[in-house]
């Protein structure tokens, strides 16, 4: 390899006018800033991806530990026995009865709400039908009046055309 050429850049800059040199330096600065921004973006994306991988790994680790704890609790629960004493069964039945009553009440309230909404809707539809009937009557009357005017004009023109002959 040959020796480096020095001074070519300064020679290039020295041949430029002041405006060209300023434009060249500005373009060079913009290119450097753009390169710096690209590097920052790449680093940001890299660290973000790395953080996401670490988060995913930690969540999986926590889920695994949680499942182990739950398995141990379940094993302990089965060792104690099913616990199907009469009082446990009564408590379960009472809880389910309360749930059924609550759901029945909710269902009744929902039916009442539906009925009220349906009535309101039907009233609105009836009102719209009445408005449409009035509009149709108005348009029909306007049509008949216009037809009458057209008939009168036609009769007048026909009388004029037939009369002088």
Q: What is the pLDDT of residues 68-124, one digit of tens each?
A: 999 988 887 666 655 567 888 899 999 999 999 999 999 999 999 999 999 999 999
State residue 164's pLDDT score. Answer: 62
Q: What is the mean pLDDT of residues 15-19?
A: 84
Q: 21 CB contacts (<8 Å, ≥6 apart)? A: 13
Q: Which tokens go with 56?
A: 């995913």
Residues of the chain with pLDDT > 90: what percent?
A: 70
For the chain, the structural domain boundaries read 15-79
Q: Which tokens go with 25?
A: 């330096």
Spatial distance between the Cα atoms of 104 and 121, rounded to a whole number of angstroms: 25
């Amino acid at each position: 390899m040959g020796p480096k050429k020095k001074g070519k850049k300064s020679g290039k800059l020295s041949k430029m006018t002041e405006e060209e040199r300023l434009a060249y330096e500005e373009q060079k600065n913009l290119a450097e800033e753009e390169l710096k921004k690209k590097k920052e973006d790449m680093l940001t994306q890299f660290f973000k991806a790395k953080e996401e991988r670490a988060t995913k790994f930690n969540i999986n680790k926590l889920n695994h530990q949680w499942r182990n704890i739950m398995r141990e609790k379940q094993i302990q629960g089965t060792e104690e026995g099913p616990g199907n004493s009469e009082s446990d069964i009564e408590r379960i039945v009472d809880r389910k009865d309360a749930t059924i009553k609550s759901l029945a009440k909710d269902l009744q309230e929902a039916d009442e709400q539906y009925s009220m909404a349906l009535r309101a809707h039907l009233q609105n539809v009836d009102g719209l039908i009445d408005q449409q009937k009035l509009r149709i009557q108005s348009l029909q009357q306007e049509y008949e009046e216009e037809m009458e005017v057209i008939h009168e004009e036609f009769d007048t023109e026909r009388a004029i055309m037939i009369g002088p002959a």
